[in-house]
Amino acid sequence: MEIGSQHTGGAVANTFADESQSDQITLFLKQLDSFERAPRTFLKSWKNTQEAEYNSTARIFFDEGQFPAWLVYFLTKNAADKQSHFLGKAELRQFVNALEKQSVKSRQLLAARVGAAIPPKHLEKINSLHKRTITSFEMSSNSKKRRRADSTISENSLSPDATPQSAHGHHSSLGRTVQVRPDSAASSNCCVEDERVPGNASLEQAERLFPRDLFNSIKRYPDPRNKNIMVAAVLISFPNEQCQMSLEVTEDKVQHLARDLFDARLEVKDGFRYLRSGRTKVKPSPKLTLTGCERNVLSSTFGLETFRGIEASSRYQHEGMHLWDTTDCVAMVISASAQEGAVIYMSLGLWEGIKISNKLFQ
């Protein structure tokens, strides 16, 4: 193996030179075994790599092995540079330092081999990270006009006394009103002004769309067109070319869903709900909105198709650029009364929302 300067670094460089590239690849890929989420400096490092010299190691890994190989190099160097101590850190730091002493050609070969050796199970996770962060960032950078338009959407563009429309464009015949601020990357809050969701979604289609636990949590109402048929309390509306799904859940499922989605502890006493925070109890007055949903429960709670809809929303992609581990794309409005249910609403991508609405409101 060709080393740029073996007299500098002495034993470290010689040891590194004696290692086969297969051993080096194995050491690189070890970082993926414990990879759960990207460090906070991830996006900044990626941006810096785009402007780095062609012979810098980060740029070489990006050019030769594309994003997956660059991420493996970034995770390895980030671990070596950490202030905290862990078993094998000294060896890892020596490995990274010795890598800089290799020739450009040798590092190019290594980068290409690292990219090709990434196991499929890790590659899927890496590609998902790329989609929700790098792709979102590039789309945002190349669409300044769209970003400005999103950021100027009025919070109350859906008026308080407006009745949302169902997926077919007609007013809900159940007669209850939901106010929703549109999904916007620039807006951090949405609100639902009524505890009940108008909607006449097909129960059969809702059962196919949602996992069993969530499906069993959704309230049912008689179909106003046929009292002998029950429908699901699910609404899909399209304010300002955005998509919002709202669903009403039964009172007995509120505590369970609040805990699973938001890690929120709700308690019931004398017919009233409270949000427990340490020794403090917060009473809704008359309602309380929970936001900051755990990202890692979205797919299992709402189902893969709905999760993909959430993932496609501009808000979710905006959050992904910041590498947040929670999302405001999902929120839950609860009432102080323990006899009332709650409303869960989700921001969806427009086209994904249209596809879902076509199924629910056939």
For residue 223, is it left (φ>0), alpha (ψ between -120 and 50) or beta?
A: beta
Please provide residue 234's backbone torsions phi and psi, each rounded to the nearest 5 degrees: -130, 135
153 within 8 A of 184, measured Cβ to Cβ: yes
How far from the centroid of its chain's Cα atoms is residue 208's Cα?
Answer: 23
How many secondary structure helices (H) and strands (E) does the chain include? Answer: 16, 12
Which stretches of the chain score pLDDT less than 70? 1-20, 83, 86, 135-199, 241, 362
The structure tokens listed for 318 are 């905006």
pLDDT for position 346: 94
Separation between Cα atoms, residue 323 and residue 349, nearest integer Å: 19
Contact between 340 and 220 (Cβ < 8 Å)? no
Backbone angles phi, psi at 257, to 5 degrees: -70, -35
Neighbours of 308 (CB within 10 A): 17
Q: pLDDT tens digit string along 196-247?
A: 444 689 999 999 999 999 999 999 998 888 888 999 999 988 777 678 999 9
**Model pLDDT, residue 135:** 66
Alpha-carbon gap, residue 64 to 66, rounded angstroms: 6
* Placement of tokens 């012979």 in the chain: 55
- 204 Cα distance to chain centroid: 28
pLDDT of res. 256: 94
DSSP class of 183: P
Listed in order, strand segments (DSSP E) in 224-336 are 226-232, 234-237, 243-249, 265-269, 272-277, 280-282, 287-290, 293-294, 326-327, 330-335
Beta pairing class for 265-269 and 272-277: antiparallel
Q: How far is residue 206 from each of residues 139, 262, 344, measured CA to CA in Å?
A: 33, 23, 15
**Strand-pair partners of 201:** 232
**The pLDDT value given to residue 20:** 65
The pLDDT of residue 80: 79
DSSP secondary structure letter of residue 218: B
| DSSP letter string, 93-157 | HHHHHHHTTB-HHHHHHHHHHHHHH--HHHHHHHHHHIIIIIIHHHHHHT-HHHHHHHHT--TTS
The pLDDT value recorded for residue 138 is 57
Q: What pTM does this model have?
A: 0.49
In this prediction, residue 90 carries a pLDDT of: 81
